[in-house]
Structure 1
Amino acid sequence: TWSISQLGNKILQSFMWYLNPRQVFDLSQGGPKEGLELYRKVHNLRILACGGDGTVGWILSCLDELALNPQPPVAVLPLGTGNDLARTLNWGGGYTDEPVSKILSHVEDGVVVQLDRWNLQVEPNYSLGAEQDEQQTDKLPLDVFNNYFSLGFDAHVTLEFHESREANPEKFNSRFRNKMFYAGTAFSDFLMGSSKDLSKHIKVVCDGIDLTSKVQDLKLQCLVFLNIPRYCAGTTPWGNPSEHHDFEPQRHDDGYIEVIGFTMTSLATLQVGGHGERLNQCREVTLTTTKPLPVQVDGEPCRLAPSVIHISLRNQANMVQKTKRRTSLPHLNDQQPVPERLRIRVSRISMTDYEALHYDKEKLRQASIPVGLIVVPGDSDLETCREHIQRLQEEAAKPKSLSSQKLSPKWCFLDSTTADRFYRIDRAQEHLNYVSEISQEELFILDPELVVMTTVGTSPSAMPDLVHSNLNQVNTSTSQRQRVSSDSSVSEALSQNTAPTTSKLSRLVCLQELHLKGADLTGVDQSGCSLLHHAVDIGSKEMVRYILENSKSPNDLLDVTEKLHGETVLHRAASLCQRTICHYLVEAGASLMKTDLQGDTPKNRAEKAHDAELAAYLENRQHYQMIQREDQETAV
């Protein structure tokens, strides 16, 4: 069954090719009921729901309605935004490019587990006698939930987004804009404090225990009734099992629901491993509200009139959980035991090479760049290998040559053996894959920010090589760059190399040579421009990354202002609409609130350059910096 998205059409065709087209159903053409009724008498039926968590809930509700016995288990191919149910069942946080044949094998091999589902019954709170206005409703968008039910701050943000999208759908046509809207709404709610009085207008009773006074004492601004461990695109608000003193570890099949409270600050810390205030684990909840409040059911929001809400266990659904198991078959009469230790070469591949060559395994192997050697236990999974690779990076002292470019935070593993092509492994599924299953002596990783070049002096078909290779292997002529003494200004040396035919690449190599000779990357020229200013003028993402990663004190560079206009490097990058460079600078800590001589922030510069999406991104990060600063001041 299929919920069409921008990615949907492409993979829909693949499923129709691998399966009988009569086994594939487009849910936008009549919903799931037709397919479920057609196959209701088929034994050992398994369903693959391709879409977000809402698509899964839709199918489960149809299964309830049809009362199939036994109920077929449901697997998930995550194509939504949050995909928290898919993460819980080990299907990952989103689809990358895993072959359809592999996905179908996982559906067949997965283990069947149970998922609690919860009823929501709503009655008007007649004791208040207040009149209902047009902006509130006395009904919830759904009467059952699989993931969570919440009220307060998070529901307010979702509701604002939902209402704005319905009023102006043309403004919400990209995931980037959607995220920016969420961030802006969250920030405005933070300033206005519209959720601060939540605790004054609710009564919470869990299995007969009144928690209202505790909610008020903690001044909670959001309450979440959580059925699964994941929430808000992969965070774990209940925390780690080892931290539980008064409560049991969370399960999705134990008939209990977790009640968690958040302040604005604790909700913000979720993204960095924090958790909420654990209030209760219970089988029944009664909520009484005395004013209209924003609520959401599995991501579907509304503004609910004063009500009495009853939460109780509905039933359990059968789901397919992706399992960690060895899938490759050993050779006949070759039942070799797993070796005690494995010595594995690690090589990385750039996104450019991956996109061009991932259907040609041999060429992609030739294009890979060595990272180093790791030694791991023979039964290690990829999570363990990631730890060893991170350690390998940390132990590598500052190199005397340029043979080691630091891995970007977004790198991921590639499966090079189990399919007819390389494919990416989702970070959330690394614990399911044994390293011996996806590699044969060499482990490949994809680094989307790896800088590569075509080797100079070879034919156009030559394989790409790492820019950060040993300098004696880079064939560049003296006409392309000048040798300078180690005490020369880097900015001056690069400014001598500004002919139109001079490539960004040769300037990068020149910069690397100068740095290896001891040149200071933090100096400024007579106009007050830092080396980062010059890198932005050239438009070289690689130079910006190199300077940030190799400067002794990159923070001293980020907010340096040149003399003529008072521009920081972020001002200049925003004026030139250099989105990737702006991202690098912001993540490195560049100030988004610093103004130039005209009083413009980097966001203002992006607006003047007519780049609305970049301006929205900078505004969002500016809000985040302000919140961080306020939190620091509060802590002090």
Structure 2
Amino acid sequence: MWRYRSWDVPQIPAEAPQSQKAITKSGLQHLAPPPPAPGAPRGEPERQIRSTVDWSESATYGEHIWFETNVSGDFCYVGEQYCVAKMLQKSVSRRKCAACKIVVHTPCIEQLEKINFRCKPSFRESGSRNVREPTFVRHHWVHRRRQDGKCRHCGKGFQQKFAFHSKEIVAISCSWCKQAYHSKVSCFLLQQIEEPCSLGVHAAVVIPPTWILRARRPQNTLKASKKKKRASFKRKSSKKGPEEGRWRPFIIRPTPSPLMKPLLVFVNPKSGGNQGAKIIQSFLWYLNPRQVFDLSQGGPKEALEMYRRVHNLRILACGGDGTVGWILSTLDQLRLKPPPPVAILPLGTGNDLARTLNWGGGYTDEPVSKILSHVEEGNVVQLDRWDLRAEPNPEAGPEERDEGATDRLPLDVFNNYFSLGFDAHVTLEFHESREANPEKFNSRFRNKMFYAGTAFSDFLTGSSKDLAKHIRVVCDGTDLTPKIQDLKPQCIVFLNIPRYCAGTMPWGHPGEHHDFEPQRHDDGYLEVIGFTMTSLAALQVGGHGERLTQCREVLLTTSKAIPVQVDGEPCKLAASRIRISLRNQATMVQKAKRRSAAPLHSDQRPVPEQLRVQVSRVSMHDYEALHYDKEQLKEASVPLGTVVVPGDSDLELCRAHIERLRQEPEGAGAKSSTCQKLSPKWCFLDATTASRFYRIDRAQEHLNYVTEIAQDEIYILDPELLGASAQPDLPTPSSPLPTSPCSPRPRSLPGDAAPPTGEELIEAAKRNDFCKLQELHRAGGDLMHRDERSRTLLHHAVSTGSKEVVRYLLDHAPTEILDAVEENGETCLHQAAALGQRTICHYIVEAGASLMKTDQQGDTPRQRAERAQDTELAEYLENRQHYQMIQREDQETAV
């Protein structure tokens, strides 16, 4: 008989009501955990708080993976009976397990042993049962105080609490398959505890813990036998190679299935401004933690070697193009047959290879669940990879030698491009400056400004203008040197993929080059392109370079030291002979377009010839403040107009219609309800295929049909839309005031009638009398009036919590009111943050208030929110403060 284990059943914290405790009347949670596996160390050493998966032989079964969290409230999973922070009556740091999403105080982690709660097991012990016996995964049930979705049994939603202070358990859910039930006997039945788990909607890519076995270390009793076996082991190891014959604590015993596409995820936490460090936690939640790897902990080689025998394996590389190249080079070394296809989650800055394979130019906020579906459904394609062989040029004289030059290229293979001249010189200058002063290159904005400054300096000095005089290029036996000398390029690019320099297309768009074959990344040909300064400048606005040739082999000879770069890795290469030839083809995953346009409504009606769809836009501040919530964002959206598009339109075509709509508001047959123009940076929002809104990268618009992201209404995100325009019911200075019972027509005053006094305005603000304040303002009242303590009307409106008055003042008072301070140095934003008035804070911040101003105690608004213990508001203010600093840097640089 299979024995119940304590972590296979939900653990009820001490404060749970009796109706919930009834679920576990059998006392299953009190059974002791199984004995340690043979060969495992005895005793309980001091438990280490781990934030990474333990692959050593001392790994703990069911060990949590902890990350720091700023979740608010007194909630702790161990319950009041065991909570150390509750006993000490003080605030302490909290941690969240990425794999099962429980939250505890840091000192309470050890108390989880007392309630016998462990994380979902990511492996099995080889000695616990016969390894050949078929096994299956059981549910890992966890109690939840917050739960999205609906109960799998009754279909009703879960009662949601605004904050984490609530002690009531509302749901029981499985950390593997994500099924959730109401925490009551009528919904969650005891027999469900021992049911096999399906591993959820992503079961095809999840590596089951039953495949991963902890191996027992070989033990020998006689010293002579040990020595003999050790010598024999060394002889065998020398024949097997460096990776084979070595004992590992874990082995993989897969059970192949034609429907499975097991996935290994490699995350570069340094890519994309710390995006990798955040997204790794999401993958630990959706997948087995032992199929997610942090590349900063040793690289991909060990993991690929361990999983090399898994059938139908796929890889997801989360990082920039350099991360992808690293993984592909490792696959070359291991010579896996067949090589697993590699998908890309772009976290870097250029991401040209990711754009080519339809993965977009960068990660925004697409749910990880959608990304896993795209990887599973993606098409397997081939990618050419090119060898680079460089040797010193024996014909170069000693006068051409450069002390700072090297004889070796930074990489001996490239996937994207190899270039020399102007672009490589700019990249090299940046690389050397960052190596010398890394503290000066800590923001993406500063990096771009350095690139721009270096490019301008190089343009003035003309360091690359004589490039054609010092190179000889032979492609497939044809000497292109005369053609290059006539062109006088300052940069030459040998291009493998259509994209270059963060998304530009230097070969030109399809159909623009009739004298050449269409450009492909799997045809065994390189495109050779020359750039003058004029064509380089035009590249960023849709231009292209001079198309020289398409070839299979290149012999490049340089007569002096020239800057070169290989997939973004620069160096100054001494006079050399460089041979470029096809190395092999890598297997990649290309994000697929849907096979057909989905119907607009849930019923399976045929796609109409034309769609008439309402377009509404959302401001960035609402998008972030409302945490991407669908219903709230729909209410906060502003109607823009109506477009009529073909029923099978993709988003690229739809964008063109919306662009015309913004230029001619009445051109589509419906008048726009707002006069503010769209910014050039607007993007589509997916409103149907996930539990919340998320942005669609512009590079992926051709992959999505209109009917896939919208039902009756298309939502777009405008990052430059002002907060005031996101409230259509508010009066603006350029529009008439709304007609309402409290908004009478302006009264006629006699010519000698005195304007309202400041005391009247203050009294109206104190009493939250919006109608009176509006009437006094129309009668000539000064909205910038201050009382004896230098408090403005906005200070008084914030102190009473009047949202309506605050919005009116922000729309009609001079902007100086935003940062006006009272006698103790507080702005209105300081007050709103200290009082925890989140909505009012959003209004004031979007109106343009400074987040860097400090009061007499030296506190910013964010620090006032922290002192008020409103961590969600503090996090919002911190994000906006960072964004405001970047904007200020932009303005200063422009000046």
Q: TM-score, normalised by structure 1?
A: 0.75
Q: How many residues align?
A: 517
Please state how far the C-alpha of 1:127 moved relative to its aligned partner.
Answer: 1.2
- Tell me which residue corresponds to 1:83: 351
- The DSSP-based 3-state class of the residue aligned with 1:87 is helix
Cα pair 1:481 1:510 within 8 Å, conserved:
no
Cα pair 1:402 1:471 within 8 Å, conserved:
no
- Tell me which residue corresponds to 1:149: 418
**What are the residue-to-residue correspondences of 1:502-541 with 2, within 5 Å?**
509=811
Please state how far the C-alpha of 1:360 moved relative to its aligned partner.
Answer: 2.8
Q: 1:330 to 1:22 in 2, by over 3 A?
A: farther
**What are the residue-to-residue correspondences of 1:143-542 with 2, within 5 Å?**
143-325=412-594, 335-396=604-665, 403-453=674-724, 471-473=736-738, 477-478=773-774, 481-482=777-778, 498-499=784-785, 501=792, 509=811
Q: Supply the AA of the counterpart residue of 2:451.
A: Y
Per residue, is there more helix in 1 or in 2?
Answer: 1
- Tell me which residue corresponds to 1:127: 395
RCO (CA 8 Å, sep 6+): is it higher in 1 or 2?
A: 1
- Tell me which residue corresponds to 1:16: 284
Q: Distance in 2 between matches of 1:213 and 1:315?
A: 31
Q: Distance in 1 between matches of 2:306 and 2:691?
A: 34
Q: Distance in 2 between matches of 1:618 and 1:3?
A: 32
Q: Distance in 1 between matches of 2:561 and 2:412?
A: 18
- Tell me which residue corresponds to 1:598: none
**What are the residue-to-residue correspondences of 1:30-41 with 2, within 5 Å?**
30-41=298-309
Please state how far the C-alpha of 1:39 moved relative to its aligned partner.
Answer: 1.3
Q: Distance in 2 between matches of 1:220 and 1:147?
A: 20
Q: Supply the AA of the counterpart residue of 2:502.
A: A
Q: Supply the AA of the counterpart residue of 2:719.
A: P
Deviations 1:446-496 (A, max 9, x none): 11121224999xxxxxx9969589533386744564489xxxxxxxx9xx7
Please state how far the C-alpha of 1:41 moved relative to its aligned partner.
Answer: 1.0
Q: 1:67 to 1:502 in 2, by over 3 A?
A: same
Cα pair 1:367 1:464 within 8 Å, conserved:
no
Q: 1:616 to 1:301 in 2, by over 3 A?
A: farther
- Tell me which residue corresponds to 1:101: 369
Q: Distance in 2 between matches of 1:247 and 1:327?
A: 32
- Tell me which residue corresponds to 2:267: 2
Q: Distance in 1 between matches of 2:438 and 2:282?
A: 30
Please state how far the C-alpha of 1:361 moved relative to its aligned partner.
Answer: 1.7
Do structure 1's residue 28 and structure 2's residue 291 form an aligned pair? no
Q: 1:468 to 1:421 in 2, by over 3 A?
A: farther
Structure 1 stretch displaced more, 475-484 or 249-258: 475-484
Q: Supply the AA of the counterpart residue of 1:74.
A: V
1:66 to 314, 330, 334: 334
Q: TM-score, normalised by structure 2?
A: 0.54
- The DSSP-based 3-state class of the residue aligned with 1:94 is coil
Q: Distance in 2 between matches of 1:268 and 1:184?
A: 14
Q: Distance in 2 between matches of 1:298 and 1:238?
A: 17
Q: Distance in 2 between matches of 1:237 and 1:578?
A: 42
Q: Distance in 2 between matches of 1:278 and 1:400?
A: 46
Deviations 1:92-114 (A, max 9, x none): 00000000000000000000111
Q: Supply the AA of the counterpart residue of 2:333.
A: E
- Tell me which residue corresponds to 1:521: none
Rg comparison, structure with higher value: 2
Q: Distance in 2 between matches of 1:455 and 1:396?
A: 18
- Tell me which residue corresponds to 1:553: none
Cα pair 1:401 1:469 within 8 Å, conserved:
no
Please state how far the C-alpha of 1:365 moved relative to its aligned partner.
Answer: 1.2
Q: Distance in 2 between matches of 1:385 and 1:348?
A: 14
- Tell me which residue corresponds to 2:97: none
Q: Supply the AA of the counterpart residue of 2:276.
A: G
Q: Distance in 2 between matches of 1:111 and 1:414?
A: 24
**Structure 1 unmatched ranges of 5 or more:** 457-462, 485-492, 512-533, 541-575, 580-610, 623-636
- Tell me which residue corresponds to 2:96: none
- The DSSP-based 3-state class of the residue aligned with 2:418 is strand
Q: Supply the AA of the counterpart residue of 1:256.
A: Y
Q: Supply the AA of the counterpart residue of 1:134.
A: E
Q: Distance in 2 between matches of 1:454 and 1:197?
A: 54
Please state how far the C-alpha of 1:435 moved relative to its aligned partner.
Answer: 1.0
Q: Distance in 2 between matches of 1:13 and 1:327?
A: 34
Q: 1:372 to 1:617 in 2, by over 3 A?
A: closer
Please state how far the C-alpha of 1:346 moved relative to its aligned partner.
Answer: 1.1
Q: Supply the AA of the counterpart residue of 1:433.
A: N
- The DSSP-based 3-state class of the residue aligned with 1:443 is strand
Cα pair 2:385 2:413 within 8 Å, conserved:
yes
CA RMSD of aligned residues (A): 3.3
Q: Distance in 1 between matches of 2:461 and 2:589?
A: 43
- The DSSP-based 3-state class of the residue aligned with 1:473 is coil
Deviations 1:354-411 (A, max 9, x none): 1122443212211111111112111111111111111111112799997332111111
Cα pair 1:539 1:578 within 8 Å, conserved:
no
Q: 1:373 to 1:612 in 2, by over 3 A?
A: closer
**What are the residue-to-residue correspondences of 1:112-123 with 2, within 5 Å?**
112-123=380-391
Q: Distance in 2 between matches of 1:73 and 1:83?
A: 18
Q: Distance in 2 between matches of 1:93 and 1:80?
A: 8
- The DSSP-based 3-state class of the residue aligned with 2:383 is strand
Q: Supply the AA of the counterpart residue of 1:303.
A: K
Cα pair 2:641 2:671 within 8 Å, conserved:
no
Q: Percent identity?
A: 70
Cα pair 1:115 1:252 within 8 Å, conserved:
yes
